[in-house]
Amino acid sequence: MLRTLQITALLTFIMAIGMPGSPAQARAARDYISIVGSSTVYPFATVVAEQFGRTTDFKTPKIESTGSGGGMKLFCAGVGVDHPDIANSSRRIKPSEMSTCTANGVTDIVEVKIGYDGIVLANSVDAPRYELGLRDIFLALAKDVPAPDGTEQLVPNPYRKWSDINPALPDRTIEVLGPPPTSGTRDAFAELAMEGGCKTFDWIRAIRKTDKNRYKGICHGIREDGRYVEAGENDNLIVQKLRDNPDALGIFGFSFLDQNADVVQGSFVEGHAPTFDAIAASEYPVSRPLYFYVKKAHVDAIPGIRGYLAEFTSDRAMGEDGYLSERGLIPLSSSEYSEAVSAVSELKTLRLATH
């Protein structure tokens, strides 16, 4: 008994001593690509990573699903094998993130736009299909809305039914399941759908010039009286809840609509249904570009990055009939596509226009 305890104690000691020694070992080299970032880009990036890992001699890249903001924070923390090589993002890099990057020595970044993602408002196939305008969406979900009597002032959102907003809409209570504020989908929805409807009021648009923060507060603020239900980051859960509750609408990414067309249907927005073609032709208004960012300093230091980039931007992946489009990524137009290809082959450094 004493002997075994002594041995285990010794082993523990050795492990504890060995710990500070091991990072040196880890720092020496990393033979796999490390990718972080958006959970929206994750399902696409992982397909490419898997394809790359299985068809080449390189290891399959490691992809962490951290969210766009969290990914950028890790990405911009510095150069070296301890830091990720690529950051996926469901929005463009912010100037503030660029300056963090620069401050930490991450100066040369290559930006690659990979395609578009549509955000859909869907409901159960058992319920009538909605035909919404951006203004309807804003009025249904904003925290404060312009007074219904037409005066130029804001009142707390009084609408209870869709038909209160627009007589053409169904006589059903407003109940929308959507992502929480930490989600990139929520950011994009607020920016594209809410703000799109918000700025149809001329007097609110006028505020933008005088007080940008107030304008943003009005347009992006989502009501908190229970009509908008934060249903978590898991889009599958929203789809399930919609099936059980035909009165509710849900907000999620196009790929989930694509996979569950037998359960849910996408509402028309401004007269366009969220179909693959309508999003690709940018007719459907609520769609956003997806990106990834590459650290130039890592390209030749970590084996396989060039190959991964080539696989991602290849025609069989990102092209119109590529395997990413089968997963629900809306491909780029041909001019944008050739831009992405040249960004990768020439490793063009990103220069953000100064605001």
Binding stretches for other proteins (CB under 8 A) = 1-2, 5, 8-9, 11-12, 15, 19-20, 22-23, 25-27, 30, 32, 34, 36, 39, 42-43, 45-47, 49-51, 53-55, 57, 59-60, 62-66, 82, 125, 233-236, 253, 255-256, 258-262, 321, 323, 327-328
Q: Which helix (H) or strand (E) segment is 249 a member of?
A: strand 249-253
Q: How far is the CB of 308 from other proteins (least distance, A)?
A: 13
Nearer to other proteins, 30 or 272 (CB): 30
Nearer to other proteins, 5 or 353 (CB): 5
Q: How far is the CB of 328 from other proteins (least distance, A)?
A: 7
Q: How far is the CB of 116 from other proteins (least distance, A)?
A: 16
Strand 154-156 and strand 131-132: pairing?
unpaired
Q: How far is the CB of 39 from other proteins (least distance, A)?
A: 7
Q: Token pair for residue 179?
A: 């992502």
* Distance from C-alpha of 269 to C-alpha of 267, rounded to nearest angstrom: 6
N-terminal to C-terminal alpha carbon distance within the chain: 71
Strand partners, 264: 124
Handedness of CA 141, 177, 126, 121 (dihedral sign): positive
Q: How far is the CB of 76 from other proteins (least distance, A)?
A: 15
Q: Identify the residue whose tokens are 């390189």.
A: 58
Q: Give the residue from 320, 340, 339 showing the smallest Cα distance to 330.
A: 320
Nearer to other proteins, 75 or 159 (CB): 75
Other C-beta atoms within 10 Å of 105: how many? 13
Nearer to other proteins, 29 or 206 (CB): 29
Nearer to other proteins, 19 or 353 (CB): 19
